[in-house]
Structure 1
């Protein structure tokens, strides 16, 4: 089954077209990466899927259901997004409890206490953090809260926008291991945006390379690990990534 399908997706901000004819099919349970330099359009694709970039044409289908423009409650129970910055994505005046309970209130879902404790346990957050504010948490703990918030409605698809890039290196591995475990335990489908090819190698099955709003190559992660990407720009990204790693 295809969990997420994009057909001829063109996204614009006003008169500026950001992406051109993006086509992707991501299988149920697959972890897929969009990679490319800043400004390539990869985060804009996530925003369009999430309903945060409403000026698009083409088709977006999630778990067999076409996605309309704007906010869609039924869609949000199937697909959620984890943002790059755990400092900016959490409301500074809301406790962890209030942040996690908000989606349950909006969707009229009961059993609030049990659901919040269950999801906090699943992301490795001790219950003592439940009534703390974001400023009382570390960066890694905040990102665990952000992941927990995305899981509150038990979606099947997670959109991950550079989920570790704002964290200390020592914490990045913890969050990547957490995401890998959650995917396995909950049979989640990931679409992740990143510039870090080492992260792609660790967490993903396939990747698409974007340049100037277009997909120039789709490849298996096995090809990436072998250094066997075909497009010249893809190979350039591998060289840049290898240089940074050294």
Structure 2
């Protein structure tokens, strides 16, 4: 069974259609990337799946269940989203303990103390962080809390919207390694949005290249090693990424 299936998906903001006729599937246990320039519609697709961009037509299914225009409790148990900005996605006046306990309270799940302690350990934070506020944490620590919150209901599908782009370069690798380990240990499926092609090569098996709201090519991540893209836009995106990496090496 596919973890995520999108069929003829069109998404609009008001009178402007920003995603056009997107069809793709992500297998259970797979890590799949949406790549492309800013404004290509990548994050909008994640928001539509999560119920945050309800003006869409077509079909969205997650783990075989059709998605409505708004998320419900059953969806929250299947699928969760990690946002780009870990500070903006955490309530500034709630402690880590309160942030992590809230999903359990909403869904009437017991053993909150044990579950919070376990998930903090799973994301590499010890118990001294439990009663701190977001402003008392580093960017990497805040993103670990955001990942922990997404995992509290034990979903099998995770939507990752540029999960490391707001972090210092030195911290990005730590978070990517954490996500890779969690996927392996918990049998997760990832749909990741990123503009960073090396991240795709490290994290994903396949990618959909998007341009102006449309998928122009679906390619294996191995294409990032040999440049075997078919569409001219994909080739140009790859060439730009290789050039940027070369410039970094020269610098």
TM-score grouping bracket, smaller chain normalisation:
over 0.9
Match of 2:96 in 1: 96
1:142-172 Cα shifts (integer Å, max 9, x gaps): 0000000000000000000000000000000
How far 1:239 moved relative to its partner?
Answer: 1.5
- Unpaired runs of 5+ residues, structure 2, are none
Distance 2:34 2:112 in 1: 35
Distance 1:242 1:165 in 2: 18
1:1-43 Cα shifts (integer Å, max 9, x gaps): 2000000000011111010000011000000000000000000
Distance 1:49 1:181 in 2: 24
Secondary structure, counterpart of 2:155 in structure 1: coil
2:184 pairs with 1:184: yes
How far 1:243 moved relative to its partner?
Answer: 2.1
Match of 2:231 in 1: 231
Distance 2:73 2:13 in 1: 24
TM-score (structure 2 length as normaliser): 0.97
Match of 2:113 in 1: 113
Match of 2:46 in 1: 46
How far 1:71 moved relative to its partner?
Answer: 2.3
Distance 1:105 1:99 in 2: 10
2:206 pairs with 1:206: yes
How far 1:72 moved relative to its partner?
Answer: 1.2
Match of 2:65 in 1: 65
Distance 1:200 1:242 in 2: 13
1:34-60 Cα shifts (integer Å, max 9, x gaps): 000000000000000000000000000
Distance 1:184 1:18 in 2: 34
Distance 1:72 1:41 in 2: 24
Distance 1:169 1:242 in 2: 18
- Equivalent positions of 1:153-168 (< 5 A) are 153-168=153-168
How far 1:223 moved relative to its partner?
Answer: 1.9
Distance 2:194 2:26 in 1: 17
Secondary structure, counterpart of 1:167 in structure 2: coil
Number of matched residues? Answer: 246
- Unpaired runs of 5+ residues, structure 1, are none
Secondary structure, counterpart of 2:70 in structure 1: coil
Q: How large is the Cα RMSD of the aligned pairs?
A: 0.6
How far 1:242 moved relative to its partner?
Answer: 1.6
Instruction: Tell which deviates more after alignment, 215-224 or 38-47.
Output: 215-224
How far 1:225 moved relative to its partner?
Answer: 1.6
Secondary structure, counterpart of 2:222 in structure 1: helix
Match of 1:152 in 2: 152
How far 1:244 moved relative to its partner?
Answer: 2.1
How far 1:224 moved relative to its partner?
Answer: 2.1
TM-score (structure 1 length as normaliser): 0.99
How far 1:102 moved relative to its partner?
Answer: 0.6
